[in-house]
Amino acid sequence: MGRLQIFINTNKKITKICIYTMHPCVFIIFSLLFLCFETTTANQLAAVGGGDDNGTVNKCFEKEKDALLHFKSLLQDPSDCLSTWTAEQDNCCEWSGVTCNNQTGGHVTELDLMDCGLVGEISHSLVNLTYLNYLNLDINSFHGTIPAIIGSLTQLRYLNLCFNNLNGTIPRSIGSLTQLRHLRLSYNSLYGTIPPEFGNLTNLQVLFLGDVGRCRVENLDWLSPLSHLEVLFMDGISLAKTNHWVDVILSLRKLLWLSLSGCELSQVMYPYSSSFLNSSYSSSIEYLSLRNNSLTSSMYRWLFPLTSNKLFHLDLSSNMLDGISKYLGNLCSLETLFFDNNPAVVTFPDFLNNLSGCTSLSLQRLYASGSQFTGSLPDDIQKFTSLTGLSLSENQLKGTISKKLWELPNLTYLELSENSLQGFPSSDYMSNLPDIEYIDLSSCKLGPRFPKWIQKLKNLTIFDISNTGISDTIPLEFWDSWPSRLSFLNLSSNNISGKVLDLSSNFDSNSRIDLSSNSFDGPITNVSSTVELLNLSRNKFSGGISFLCEVVHGFLVILDLSHNFLSGQIPDCLWHLKELKVLNLEHNNLSGRLPASVGSMIKLEALDLYMNDFSEEFPLSVKNCTSLKSLNLGANKFSGNLPVWIGENLSGLYVLILRSNNFSGSIPLQLCQLASLQILDLSVNHFHGTIPSCLSNLTIMVQQGFSQAQNLDPNNPLIIYSYNVDHVMIQWQGTEREFIRSNMKLLRSIDLSSNNLTGEIPYQITNLDQLIALNLSKNALLGKIPLNISQMKNLLTLDLSRNKFSGEIPSTMSQMTLLSYLDVSCNNLSGRIPSSTQLQSFDHSRYEGNLGLCGLPLTKKCPGDEESGIQHIIGESEGEGIDEPDVWFYIGGAIGFTVGFWIACGALLLNRRGRYAFFMFLDSFEDWVYVKVVVFIANLQKDEHR
């Protein structure tokens, strides 16, 4: 739907190629990839044949052969890209990636090892390839520094080190490569200042320094001599100290592509000189990206000279702009405008009005999601007759959508989600959009009737009307509207009812279907074998799940049938679901034992069978699912011992929930091998024996920072499709609570409650200083609470109730300032409850059932409390008189409070920043003041009684 212009060097001339894309993300990716992966006609011939202009095979020099072998010796080559590089193969000119040229006497002139998967350092031996003019090490895993000797390869015309792990500073010696036309260093981990010696590269045409690491530029004067420069990418390099950088850019008269994303341009004090702006220079730039620079609308003063009628792509995303300048409406070649994520409030009608010059005729793609547009979608949209893509999601648009939107003749991509728009036209009207392929109206006001106009759009491939207030029965003919076209269908979070008759014929390969959180009922039948994600959760589906036997081609990656009324057994035909990573069947009526074919799902990462009626022993077939990260078998009728192979085979587990079953026996020591385990719930079973002391080996519970839940496989569709597999129900502070990905990252929990465990709490458990919740209640544990339990400084929840603990509550527990839930009731504890604001704040019921306990919050006084008077001071007065010193203390306190209160309030009412800082301070100071006041009053009373 959009034109992407890409420059390719052929015969020393940069030309444009138009490629049609569908989405802004695709647009950006292709831009970067094609610019970084230049391939010349000559290189292609060399890669195929490796010969010279006369068709003869060159014989390489021994010195250069040795240099290449030494280069290889420092590398790991898991892809066998360099398999032909052997000492036995005499002619290195015939090695893969190597090109020799007869014009140089058979010397090696080109080395192209792009995307070979090589790991290691760049060998200094390359200095012996004195005739090398082309070096491409793009997309590998080279590490270490860029060797300074690279400056000795003075014949180099092309140098590409993109997409590696190179670190250190950029060597100044690169300035010696005066023949360079193309220099690409992007996507590494370099740091320091960009060498001013780059100014010696006067033949340079393409310079990629974007995302090189943590680099900066303090002076851009070195750019001025690069008069042949056509492409310049410096994304992520700080230009905060580069005054008059606009002047330098405008001096590059051949510059076509410029990307300065994330360069801290808002910190530049003097971006241009006033004298230069008065000159008659005209910019040649066609592609300009200034995203993520915190720029305000004052930038339009210096943006003007950088723009001309040659500009076809402008990216102003992720800045602080409060509108668009009128002169941008006169850019008659502008095709793509990005204005995403600008937080200042802008009325959308005004925004369109400022673009209503000749730009309205040329603009094809307008992407402005995640900004603060207000107002409606007005009739002025009809002026933009060339629009193919419009994205306005996550704004604050309201009111009725103009019917003129549906008259745009070229519209293929429309995204209006997360707005309060309403007023969609009739079915007949929608026939004006025969070519539209992508519609996202999620969270708009589309209901309550089901929009029948959808069936008019025969070319739809992506369709999302989730959470749009639809409360209606779906038409049966809906399922036959797009034979083999749809790749994404999302009707979730509505109240749509009816039958789902056919999910087999409408969907393209690797399609995703989300019908969750509706009222669909009846059986599930006819599911396409090409579906990759199927989410039918939280509906009223019933019957069995034998349809799984029809999904035979193995494309399915995510299957969620949870929260329905499904019954029967899991069919034993899962061996073909070899790509499945998520299987969620929780909250159904499924029963029986798990089939052996579960073990065939070797890529399975999450298995959730919570709240069903499964029975028999722990399913042996799960042993083969070695990729499992989350296993939830809770609230079933599984029985028998817990197998030791859980700790031995499922080493990647970070969630293990077996609560509310009939498991018995002791807790196997092998569970301690699960170093990534962050949630362990074995509660409400029949486990006996002692708590394994080796639980202190659960490494994740002693490591600070985010847990494994944040580091799922980046290729996992859980992330790609925003599907939340990381959700668990656990007992939290006495009630069952659901935790999802967003609040699981720091959660570490152990729940062994409601079993038959005996013995003492192993002191090693207290080493788990990152544990958030520990529940050992309703067992037969005895002994004392460990004295060093205060080491568990991050505990929010501690439940030791209904055991046989004895002795005192350790006084060090007063240091556990984060504790928000404590229950030690129904034990044999004795002595005084330690004094702290935390321990006294809990309800008295959390301490009851311990006959020997005394002190607040219990009403039972400890020996000596009557004499010292502490109980009266901290508790409520029992009618005793107040002595004169107390009277003056309270009077003085009241007067001080009153005066201070009105002085503070007066200041805060007049000073917004001070008001914010004050309340932030007050919030953190509250506990400290309380403790100090209580201690002061208690000491005062002691003095009076002496």
User: Crossing angle, helix 884-910 and helix 912-945, to 10 degrees?
Assistant: 170
- pLDDT tens for each residue of 566-589: 999 999 999 888 899 999 999 999
CA dist 510 and 108 (Å) reads 45
The answer to whether the pTM exceeds 0.85 is no
In 3D space, the residue among 60, 66, 63, 4 whose CA is nearest the CA of residue 32 turns out to be 4
H or E, element range at 884 = helix 884-910
In 3D space, the residue among 123, 138, 140 whose CA is nearest the CA of residue 183 turns out to be 138
- pLDDT tens for each residue of 598-631: 999 999 999 999 999 999 888 888 899 999 999 9
Query: Which pLDDT belongs to residue 741?
Result: 54
In sequence order, the 6+-apart residues with CB closer than 8 A to the CB of 275 are none
- Residue 706's Cβ-side half-sphere holds a number of Cα atoms within 13 Å equal to 10
In sequence order, the 6+-apart residues with CB closer than 8 A to the CB of 25 are none
CA dihedral 378, 383, 386, 387 (to 10 degrees): -10
Query: Which pLDDT belongs to residue 486?
Result: 83
Residues in the chain: 946
In sequence order, the 6+-apart residues with CB closer than 8 A to the CB of 916 are none
At 142, the amino acid letter reads F
CA dist 513 and 858 (Å) reads 57
Tokens of 906: 């007066």
In 3D space, the residue among 185, 180, 184 whose CA is nearest the CA of residue 145 turns out to be 185
Tokens of 40: 């010349």
Cβ contact 721:532 at 8 Å: no
H or E, element range at 400 = strand 398-400
SS3 (DSSP) at 941: helix
Buried b / exposed e across 259-280, counting CB within 10 Å, b at 16+?
bbbbbbbeebeebbeeebeeee
In 3D space, the residue among 599, 651, 610 whose CA is nearest the CA of residue 632 turns out to be 610
Using 50 as the pLDDT threshold, list the residues of the chain that sit under it.
1-56, 705-724, 869-890, 899, 907-935, 937-939, 941-946
Taking the alpha carbons of 465, 466, 469, 473 in that order, is the dihedral positive or negative? positive
In 3D space, the residue among 313, 306, 303 whose CA is nearest the CA of residue 337 turns out to be 313
In sequence order, the 6+-apart residues with CB closer than 8 A to the CB of 409 are 385
Tokens of 22: 């569908």
Cβ contact 730:752 at 8 Å: no
